Structure 1
């Protein structure tokens, strides 16, 4: 069933993306329609993409549960079986403005935590990029096997491309950290789609990605974290509800993904110097609510 479940999440992401693009083409995708279960403003494109993915899963799987940004946590059929973690449009601000840097993220898990994710797909339709991974089966981009280059890394951030999440919920914190990275020669990027940025560590598009403001949700990175791990990236991940993080919309995360352990350690050290606490003590230190 493992190969089949990978096909399921890949196809679900594509069906959702088709709905999102169609909504844009019809001029309704960016229309705001209240707030989803995740607490953010819902766009018409979000709702239609999520609905399309779930309808596909109902036809293909039947009995399953979902944790998704718009509808929240819900059981379909008799429940049980796989738990699907869906972000119908990761990068909604980009999507709304017609910027192509957004993706559909769909993951499947066999348990209650992010370590139980067994298959994931991150599909960016306007970029023509499909990242996907199977636990123990590797990570891929458009059919090409991904592997983070081994060894030879001094860990210094000078010249490294470091992607940072930025959200109004985090106030000024990302910018303080970004300034300190820049002063050490890093090239800082804030691209607006966590699933894509984490996946791009696997492909070499960026050297590291960090979100440690207490606002990240599991739907954003469930698929991408598997992609990164299967490509050999170094992943630091923890949750407010526990480590490994729980698959729940109530969970909030910190995440640091890097091309090597030593680079991750250097980025983490600059974070601690910038904000006055280690990444692992984020929630004790200030625990920003998402």
Structure 2
């Protein structure tokens, strides 16, 4: 078994078990705390699920690094680091909206999206039961279906997904950015989970996704899904997906979205 295949098996199993744990905790009731601003929340389940994922990864591959949303990073001695969002879409999770996911990626190199190379990505929605998975040069898959981005965007424009930041200070710039995108958009979708937005681009369910202010664990797995489904991914800083911007689309539509956002740095 290749390294990528082994890592994919591990990520798939752990994502499913972690998602099922989160779903059980959701049924039992949600305990909520605030993080950076009032709208930025974390649940007890976020922390419990990340602790579960981390313990399972350490048991399977103790020399690997770990970079997650809810706990301190751990440096790798193997060259592989796991980048984890235990519950992406926490507000959806807290409200009972069925659009949240466990996102797990394995990357080689530094725990920095500007420097790493993703080799495995898994995004699991426990509510729908959908497990999106990808390996570098091995394609992106949902079950037995190989995924491909939608690259047939007509004159009405593309169906574009995006997200809004929690900090009220970002809302006005976010709306200004949206106004620039609308001329090339058929419509907008605001789903509330970056990993699922990127999975939707990979599956051809939306034509593009962009967002400013995401963290590495939000997009590490999803970016690989899009790339392996034949899409283009970029952003900033440095033309790569990062805090400054993430842009993902099919090759035929990517330029129109990027041009609409060309003033972003």
Measure the CA separation in 2 of the matches of 1:185 and 1:237. Answer: 19
**CA distances 1:67-104 after superposition (whole Å, capped 9, x unpaired):** 100003125xx843420000001101100000010111
Contact 1:217 1:253 in 2 (8 A): no
1:13 counterpart residue number = 15
Q: Which moved more, 1:180-189 or 1:230-239?
A: 180-189
Residue segments in structure 1 that go unaligned for 5+ positions in a row: 246-250, 283-290
- 1:16–1:104 CA contact under 8 A, matched in 2: yes
Contact 2:140 2:229 in 1 (8 A): yes
User: TM-score, normalised on structure 2?
Assistant: 0.88
How far did residue 34 of structure 1 move?
Answer: 5.7
Cα drift, residue 33 of structure 1:
4.1
Which range is displaced more, 223-232 or 10-19? 10-19
State whether residues 165 and 210 of structure 1, in contact with CA within 8 Å, keep that contact through their aligned partners in structure 2: yes
The number of residue pairs the alignment matches comes to 256
Q: CA deviation at 1:184?
A: 5.0
Show the counterpart of 2:177: 177
Return the alpha-carbon distance in structure 2 between the equivalents of residues 34 and 186 of structure 1: 35
- 1:25 Cα deviation (Å)? 1.5
Residue 252 of structure 2 corresponds to residue 254 of structure 1: no
Task: For structure 2, list consecutive stretches of 5 or more residues without a partner in the other structure.
Answer: none
- The CA deviation at 1:4 is 0.6
Please give the residue correspondences for 1:1-290 in structure 2 after superposition, counting only pairs within 5 Å. Answer: 1-27=3-29, 30-33=30-33, 35=35, 40-75=40-75, 79-112=77-110, 113-114=112-113, 115-149=116-150, 153=153, 156=155, 158-169=156-167, 170-184=170-184, 186-211=186-211, 213=212, 215-239=213-237, 244=240, 252-260=243-251, 262-272=252-262, 277=263, 279=264, 282=265
**TM-score, scaled to structure 1:** 0.81
Contact preservation (8 Å) 1:235, 1:257: yes
The change in CA–CA distance for 1:185 and 1:67 in structure 2 (over 3 A counts) is: closer
Structure 1 consecutive aligned stretches of length 4 or more whose deviation exceeds 6 Å:
none
CA offset digits 1:159-180 (Å, max 9, x no partner): 4210111123322222223334
Q: Distance in 1 between matches of 2:77 and 2:33?
A: 28
CA distance in 1, matches of 2:209, 2:185: 16
Q: Does the residue aligned with 1:172 lie in a helix, a strand or coil?
A: helix
Helix, strand or coil: the match of 1:252? coil
Say if 1:33 and 1:181 are closer, same or farther in 2 by CA, change over 3 A.
closer
